[in-house]
Amino acid sequence: MKKHILVIPGDGIGAEVTVWGRKALEQIALKFDHDFSFDTAQMGHEAIENCGNPLPDETLDKAKLSDAILFGAVGHIKYDLDPSLTVRPEQGLLKIRKELGLFANLRPILVFDELLGASSLKPEILKGTDILFFRELTGDVYFGEKQLSADRNTASDLMIYHRYEIERIAVKAFEAARNRRGKVCSVDKANVLESSRLWREVIQEVALRYPDVQTQHLFIDNAAMQLIRDPKQFDVILTGNLFGDILTDEASQIAGSMGMLASASVGDKMGFFEPIHGSAHDIAGKNIANPFASVLSAALLLNIGFGLKKEADILTNTISDLLKEGYRTLDISTPETLAKNILGTSEMGELIIDKLKELFPKPYDHVT
Ligand code: IPM
Ligand code: MN
């Protein structure tokens, strides 16, 4: 298969982890005789420093010409400490999502048994959890009109949804549920918000087209509680941009660490694949970030982006094998983890690549 992949490492730990997602893709291409070409581009703080724009035109042009994008993270402490800065790294990410029409953000909560002890929640509550989030990504309060009064005493962000935006992500979520355990839980705040009442109305209409799928509606406050009370009750969770952002960070603790979760943002054409963790400046440059989320993002790129499920499974299984062998990065280590098994980002990355090389010793002897 011939494909062109754009790599956007971004800021903070983005570059440290994305290199391993890319190397994993290169190994897969070599072993399966795929013709993957790569290019790189800038976004976020790095891009602001170099050209004053968090999403340079060149990056957007390259993105539009690629078949898929592997992304790291954007953000910098400088902007977190100074809310008055008007040009901000996150604007790059929001703009590329909008420009590429990436309205559906899929965030699978994949629980590896070996990491049950790494979570702050009880293992018996977590074991067997398998949730797929559908977070709407190009609407909501993220993209509604923003205002700040001249005297800086009043500010507002408009929470807005159009029927078509709700309907198109609902269809994706219900279709996915059909191929899973047949349950969709839609999350909103319809007891308070008008936009949530429209959300609920549209979901109810779409649900009629899927009588084989069981539909449930929860308010966001209740959903946040249910998610850690009994995560196994959920199959597909469908929600808006803001609620989805918050709920998926919460859900990362079910998987043991933010460093374990990957996501796929898709629209009608190409896909954008990224860890759900951010730029994490507190640990950047220390070689302690977890590269698994980037490699799992590469797996989503192969599976969802290119329909290469077998290749994707090889990446996921490689991570599972390393966890079974006891290897951990700091974020997923427990008191039981042996010190010699706690690896830095690059050591864990090398181990992933070594494993992939070992799987098929003869470079051009591909598995069919
Ligand atoms: C995410 C991030 C982004 C978001 C930020 C960096 C704009 O938190 O992808 O979850 O809020 O969508
Ligand atoms: Mn987030």
Q: What is the dihedral of CA 250, 267, 146, 279, to 10 degrees?
A: 50
Of 11, 88, 90, best ligand 1 pocket probe by most atoms within 8 Å of the beta carbon: 90
Give the pLDDT of residue 336: 84
The angle subtended at Cα 163 by Cα 93 and Cα 169, nearest 5°, is 55
Q: What is the pLDDT of residues 98-150, one digit of tens each?
A: 999 999 999 999 999 999 999 999 999 999 999 999 999 999 999 999 999 99
Helix (H, G, I), strand (E, B) or coil at 29: helix
- Sign of the torsion angle spanned by Cα atoms 199, 166, 312, 301: negative
For residue 281, give the nearest of 70, 72, 97 by alpha carbon. 72
CATH class of 130-253: alpha beta
Dist CA 14 CA 10 (whole Å): 5
Full-model pTM? 0.95
Whole-angstrom CA distances from 60 to 3, 8, 133, 161 are 18, 11, 27, 25
Q: What is the pLDDT of residues 296-318, one digit of tens each?
A: 999 999 999 999 999 999 999 99
From the number of C-beta atoms within 10 Å of its C-beta (0-12, 13-18, 19+), residue 122 rates as exposed
Q: What is the pLDDT of residues 2-32, one digit of tens each?
A: 999 999 999 999 999 999 999 999 999 999 9
258 pLDDT band, cuts 50/70/90, is very high
Domain coordinates of the chain in residue numbers?
Answer: 1-104+260-368, 130-253
Distance between Cα 245 and ligand 1 center (Å): 7
Q: Provide DSSP, 61-112.
A: HHHHT-SEEEEEE---HHHHH-TT-SS-HHHHHHHHHHHTT--EEEEEEE--
DSSP-assigned letter for residue 224:
H
Dist CA 328 CA 337 (whole Å): 8
Residues whose CB is less than 8 angstroms from the CB of residue 186 and which lie 6 or more positions away in sequence, other chains included: 170, 199, 200, 203, 215, 216, 217, 218, 237, 238, 239
* Atom nearest to 73 CA in ligand 1: 6
Q: Would you say residue 338 has pLDDT above 80?
A: yes
Q: What is the pLDDT of residues 74-105, one digit of tens each?
A: 999 999 999 999 999 999 999 999 999 999 99
Q: Is 313 in the pocket of ligand 1 (CB under 6 A)?
A: no
368 pLDDT band, cuts 50/70/90, is very low
Within 10 angstroms of residue 253's Cβ, the number of other Cβ atoms is 18
For residue 304 the two structure tokens come to 């969802």
Of 11, 80, 93, best ligand 1 pocket probe by most atoms within 8 Å of the beta carbon: 93
CATH topology match: 1-104+260-368 vs 130-253? yes
* Atom nearest to 274 CA in ligand 1: 9
Q: Would you say residue 273 has pLDDT above 80?
A: yes
Selected from 3.40.47.10, 3.65.10.10, 3.40.50.720, 3.40.718.10, the CATH number assigned to the domain covering 1-104+260-368 reads 3.40.718.10
Q: Would you say residue 365 has pLDDT above 70?
A: no
